[in-house]
């Protein structure tokens, strides 16, 4: 992947990236006071099962995001993929400058609910993890531009943010060089209430040694992290950062967002760039929800040059979460992911360390619609969409792919997809412009109408022509 391609991608694919704007609203009063008794800044520990797998490489880049072009989206109304500014924070504001940086971990740890930390422009060498214990806190740049504020862990700070509380917003910041995660969200060890309402918006995250964003239950599995969102953000593992990936668990223990046993997350309109290791092991997915996660919506993302795109589930067995309504009482044994929808994403790679675009493993009720997965030059590619293990039962429709594969007794309804696609369908593969050309008659109007088709990569609905098009772009004559 060359820098020029990435920049073109940023410009062409119509995402507002990060350039974004200001802060976000953060919720409600709550009332829990964090108090002063402090558990210290150490992470709660990630009870990963370890992703046993194989293989991966390429290169990388740095890009600033940018507002991009919304394409021919049109007519009236706001562009649904525009990444508008978050509203100004209301309530108690703490201005963060270099002058109070040394005290920042203490200020955060002891903050009252609904305190908003607003960073003046600059690069901040974080002295320690920011441990968020009160609900409703927010963290953002004063300018609303992630490029203006860098929180740098220098590979000395474990996680930059450790979030134990609900309704926490982290927006419009650049986060880099954490030993563990840029953001780690997990209930405290003795918690019985779930953490909800995590809002990660307009972030730029680079070069994290483990998963860039980690979401998991507490160790006792008595509390979970639900109803969060990751939107309008840009993740990249650069050539400079790749040698610093943690090799211990899998050889390449990194990935984009990695969530265990979490329900109701929205992953929308983000860019994930070059998350892979060269020959050291297989990176985790750009977007991975597993260990009995549920109802994840993954849409309108661009996953470029990553080892793996989107994963629902991973292994044949794993950690469970008991849902009171037991959505699949007829299923015996482990479900790695319940329901959920993966739609209108673009996945591209052209290096030998790419493995698979979308993986469904013990994924019950997953729907995979209108994705474009183009990887013919990825010489080590395994599959575009792979579904496996007996408790997988999915619907896979309207996708452009190189290959769809089934293993280990999985079931799915698979129709109206194309396999073995070539570059002739697209405006300009070199420029990473995966809009359809007028002659792409194998794709245009060849899809089938589905409930919850979402919007295409330009924000347009699926109503042009005689029928929906296959893939992530709806051609408009």
Residue ranges binding Ca ion (CB under 5 A): 445, 464-465, 469
Instruction: Choose between 122 and 465: whose C-beta lies nearer to Ca ion.
Output: 465
The tokens for 8 are 């073109």
Q: Is the dihedral of CA 97, 210, 145, 172 positive or negative?
A: negative
Inter-residue contact 445 to 476 (CB < 8 Å): no
Instruction: Choose between 112 and 445: whose C-beta lies nearer to Ca ion.
Output: 445
Determine the Cα–Cα distance for residues 395 and 366; give it in Å rounded to an integer: 6
Instruction: Choose between 33 and 449: whose C-beta lies nearer to Ca ion.
Output: 449
Please report how close the Cβ of residue 474 comes to Ca ion at its closest, in angstroms: 6
Instruction: Choose between 102 and 448: whose C-beta lies nearer to Ca ion.
Output: 448
Q: How far apart are the first and last CA of the chain?
A: 31
Instruction: Choose between 202 and 468: whose C-beta lies nearer to Ca ion.
Output: 468
Determine the Cα–Cα distance for residues 40 and 181; give it in Å rounded to an integer: 17
Q: Which residues pair with 138 in a beta bridge?
A: 116, 169
Determine the Cα–Cα distance for residues 315 and 334; give it in Å rounded to an integer: 10
Please report how close the Cβ of residue 455 comes to Ca ion at its closest, in angstroms: 13
Please report how close the Cβ of residue 445 comes to Ca ion at its closest, in angstroms: 4
Query: Helix, strand, or coil here: 98?
Result: helix
Determine the Cα–Cα distance for residues 123 and 126; give it in Å rounded to an integer: 9
Instruction: Choose between 82 and 457: whose C-beta lies nearer to Ca ion.
Output: 457
Inter-residue contact 241 to 177 (CB < 8 Å): yes
Please report how close the Cβ of residue 476 comes to Ca ion at its closest, in angstroms: 8
Determine the Cα–Cα distance for residues 179 and 129; give it in Å rounded to an integer: 11
CA distances, 166 to each of 29, 30, 193 (Å):
11, 9, 10
Please report how close the Cβ of residue 63 comes to Ca ion at its closest, in angstroms: 31
Instruction: Choose between 336 and 468: whose C-beta lies nearer to Ca ion.
Output: 468
Please report how close the Cβ of residue 447 comes to Ca ion at its closest, in angstroms: 7
Instruction: Choose between 226 and 456: whose C-beta lies nearer to Ca ion.
Output: 456
Sheet holding 287-290, edge to edge: 130-132, 161-163, 183-185, 211-215, 255-260, 287-290, 308-312, 356-361, 383-388, 404-407
Please report how close the Cβ of residue 453 comes to Ca ion at its closest, in angstroms: 11
Instruction: Choose between 73 and 210: whose C-beta lies nearer to Ca ion.
Output: 73
Please report how close the Cβ of residue 73 comes to Ca ion at its closest, in angstroms: 15
Please report how close the Cβ of residue 107 comes to Ca ion at its closest, in angstroms: 54
Instruction: Choose between 86 and 453: whose C-beta lies nearer to Ca ion.
Output: 453
Inter-residue contact 47 to 224 (CB < 8 Å): no
Please report how close the Cβ of residue 70 comes to Ca ion at its closest, in angstroms: 19
Residues making up the chain, counted from first to last: 477
The tokens for 134 are 């009160």
Rg of the chain, C-alpha, whole Å: 21
Phi-psi region of 432 (alpha: psi -120 to 50; beta: other; left: phi over 0): left
What is the DSSP secondary-structure string of 227-273? Answer: S-EEES-EEE--TTTGGGS--TTTSS--EEEEEES-BS-EEES-EEE
Instruction: Choose between 263 and 397: whose C-beta lies nearer to Ca ion.
Output: 397
Task: Tell me the pairing of strands 433-436 and 426-428.
Answer: antiparallel
**Nearest residue relative to Ca ion (C-beta):** 465
Please report how close the Cβ of residue 429 comes to Ca ion at its closest, in angstroms: 21
């Amino acid at each position: 992947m060359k820098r020029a391609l990435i920049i073109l991608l940023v410009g062409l694919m119509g995402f507002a990236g990060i350039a974004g704007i200001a802060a976000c609203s953060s919720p409600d009063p709550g009332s829990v006071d964090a108090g002063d008794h402090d558990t210290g800044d150490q992470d709660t520990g990630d009870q990963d099962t370890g992703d046993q797998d194989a293989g991966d490489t390429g290169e990388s880049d740095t890009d600033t995001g940018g507002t991009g072009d919304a394409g021919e989206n049109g007519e009236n109304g706001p562009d649904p993929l525009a990444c508008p500014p978050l509203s100004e924070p209301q309530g108690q504001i703490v201005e963060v400058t270099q002058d109070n940086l040394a005290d920042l971990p203490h200020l955060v740890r002891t903050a009252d609910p609904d305190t908003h930390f607003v960073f003046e422009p600059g690069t901040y060498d974080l002295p320690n993890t920011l441990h968020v214990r009160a609900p409703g806190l927010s963290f953002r740049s004063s300018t609303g531009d992630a490029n203006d504020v860098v929180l740098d862990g220098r590979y000395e700070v474990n996680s930059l943010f450790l979030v134990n509380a609900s309704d926490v917003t982290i927006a419009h910041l650049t986060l880099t060089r954490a030993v563990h995660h840029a953001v780690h969200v997990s209930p405290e060890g003795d918690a019985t209430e779930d953490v909800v309402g995590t809002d990660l918006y307009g972030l730029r995250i680079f070069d994290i040694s483990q998963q860039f964003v980690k979401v998991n239950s507490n160790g006792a599995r008595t509390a979970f992290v639900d109803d969060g969102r990751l939107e309008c953000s840009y993740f990249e593992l650069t050539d400079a950062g790749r040698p610093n990936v943690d090799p211990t668990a899998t050889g390449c223990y990194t990935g984009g967002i990695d969530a265990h046993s979490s329900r109701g997350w929205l992953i929308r309109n983000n860019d994930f760039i070059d998350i892979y290791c060269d020959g050291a092991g297989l990176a985790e997915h750009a977007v991975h929800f597993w260990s009995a996660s549920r109802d994840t919506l993954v849409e309108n993302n661009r996953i470029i040059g990553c080892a793996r795109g989107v994963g629902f589930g991973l292994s044949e067995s794993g950690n469970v979460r008991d849902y009171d309504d037991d959505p699949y009482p007829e299923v015996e044994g482990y479900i790695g992911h319940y329901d959920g929808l993966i739609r209108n994403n673009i996945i591209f790679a052209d290096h030998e360390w790419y493995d698979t675009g979308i993986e469904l493993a013990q994924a019950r009720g997953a729907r995979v619609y209108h994705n474009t997965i183009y990887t013919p030059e990825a010489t080590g590619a395994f599959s575009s969409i792979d579904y496996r293990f007996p408790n997988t039962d999915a619907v896979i429709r309207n996708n452009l792919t190189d290959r769809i594969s089934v293993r280990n007794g999985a079931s799915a309804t698979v129709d109206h997809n194309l396999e073995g696609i070539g570059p002739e369908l697209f405006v300009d593969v070199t420029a990473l412009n995966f809009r359809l050309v007028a002659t792409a008659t194998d794709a245009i109007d060849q899809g089938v109408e589905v409930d919850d088709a979402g919007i295409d990569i330009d924000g347009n609905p699926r109503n042009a022509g005689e029928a929906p098009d296959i893939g992530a772009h709806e051609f408009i004559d």
